Amino acid sequence: MKKYCLIIFIGAVLFVLPGCLTFHRISYQLNLEGDLNGKGIINIYDIRSGAESDSDFAEDKKTLFDYIQKSDQFITDMQNEGKDITSRRLYVEDGILNGETRLNFDDVRKIEGIGFEDGFYYLTVQPDDSIFSTNGKVITSSDYKRIIWDKNVETLMFEMMASDYSDGTYKELAPFYKE
């Protein structure tokens, strides 16, 4: 299963960091108020670190708890990507660290690569990516998977799995979270 690295506490900008923050699954609810603009809720479940060294683990904690959760710079960085974060939070539920963000957007095409053409919204992912649920239609080929929504859909919803943590190498972050 494809592993994603998380540097987004939500707003969901995914790229590799030392150590590598990751999550079990991520869900998007994008409520369109026009063809391209709207408001969204992104939930990330079971955030962990794939750091192999103590220094990388410390960097992952700093990135998550200081930069993503608390800093104004993160808000500015997300605004520069077209994501106006209105709230963000981490929380522990049943011993697992989760996150939620709410955001406004002027162009849904700036949210995780969603496209809009010829009256359809779509999201294209790798064929081995796991789409857990969606209110769109999933089309699969040998080269990609694509979720398609008709233009008349007011809310684009999808949930994807990232890591099942079955190899036991990921470090839990819930014990380090302080409200």
Residue where the block lists tokens 């990609």: 144
- Residue 56 placed within a domain: yes
Number of domains in the chain: 1
Q: How confident is the model over 96-117, as pLDDT tens digits? A: 999 999 999 999 999 999 999 9
What is d(CA 169, CA 121) in angstroms, rounded to the nearest whole number? 37
- Residue 4 placed within a domain: no
Per-residue pLDDT at 10 exceeds 90: no
Mean pLDDT of 64-77: 95
pTM, two decimals, is 0.86
Mean pLDDT of 154-163: 95
Backbone angles phi, psi at 3, to 5 degrees: -100, 135
Per-residue pLDDT at 51 exceeds 80: yes
Range of the domain at 30: 21-106+154-176
- Residue 81 placed within a domain: yes
Sign, CA torsion 93/97/103/107: negative
3-state secondary structure of 32: strand
Sign, CA torsion 16/161/134/31: negative
What is d(CA 35, CA 23) in angstroms, rounded to the nearest whole number? 30
